[in-house]
Amino acid sequence: MSDSKLKGTLTLILGGVRSGKSRFGQELAHQLGGDNVLFVATAESRDAEMARRIHQHRQSRPIAWQTLERPLKTGIAIAAYDALKTVVLVDCLTLLVSNVLLANESEINSLDGIAAIENRMQAEVDDLIRVAENHETHLIVVSGEVGMGLVPETSLGRLFRDMLGWSNQRMAARATSTYFMVAGLPINASSLAYSVQKVAQELCCNRESGAIQ
């Protein structure tokens, strides 16, 4: 839902693998900011395959865009960036969750350790939200939706799924708008959620007034 206290705007773009979420994020960023865009990459080149993906992703972006590579403490880095741009595109929250897990992998074998990791991830999300709260910029965050597939076989996989799901929910609760990508098509999830809530409220009021028996 939107927050009237926001100085800027926060747009969350969710989708599965190859759903078109990154492409839509870039199109939206270009529409809002043209060349005045800061692209924030959270990916780390851990192997040749990932290095190839990062290279292809760089080639797909406008040359005039500036790039900030920050796999951890991303929101803090954006807030400290000199001459913050009209639009900030973060791609993606999925990898940020993965980076937090991998950086603290030794702690996942205890409940206290998992709680500490969850707190660190919550801080990452809150730092991103504060970028929109404290700066006059359009913040666009791309993230994966992994809650619609099979349950991961490993405890690490299940923890990743849970942390990403919670992070997405926390981000969506403060977002100005949230889109869900299906086969390259953006669906305005915020508008749909508002419509459903409005219908539910109307049904509730009608029932209380006796219009519905």
Is 41 contained in some domain? yes
| 79-107 confidence digits (pLDDT tens) | 999 888 899 999 999 999 999 999 998 89
Mean residue pLDDT of the chain comes to: 88
- Among 109-113, 181-185, 196-200, the range scoring the smallest mean pLDDT is 196-200
Closest CA to 12 of 124, 185, 128: 128
Is 46 contained in some domain? yes
Q: Which of 55, 57, 135, 138 is catalytic?
A: 57
pLDDT score at 197: 63
Question: Would you state the structure tokens that stand for residue 199, as one six-digit string?
Answer: 């219908």
Is 104 contained in some domain? yes
Q: Which residues fall within 8 angstroms of residue 2, CB to CB, at 6 or more apart?
A: 175, 176, 177, 190
Is 1 contained in some domain? no
Q: What is the CATH number of the domain that holds 205?
A: 3.40.50.300
CA-to-CA distance for 175 and 4, rounded, in angstroms? 11
SS3 143: strand
Is 2 contained in some domain? no
| 117-127 confidence digits (pLDDT tens) | 999 999 999 99
Instruction: Clarify whether 57 is annotated catalytic.
Output: yes
Is 4 contained in some domain? no
pLDDT score at 93: 98
What is the number of domains present in the chain?
A: 1
CA-to-CA distance for 178 and 2, rounded, in angstroms? 10
| 29-83 confidence digits (pLDDT tens) | 999 999 999 999 998 877 788 778 877 777 788 999 999 999 999 999 999 998 8
pLDDT score at 204: 65
pLDDT score at 46: 73
pLDDT tier for residue 167 given thresholds of 50, 70 and 90: very high
CA-to-CA distance for 132 and 126, rounded, in angstroms? 10
Is 176 contained in some domain? yes
List beta partners, residue 88.
Answer: 38, 139
Is 3 contained in some domain? no
pLDDT score at 6: 45
Domain that holds residue 142: 9-209
pLDDT score at 1: 41
pLDDT score at 59: 75
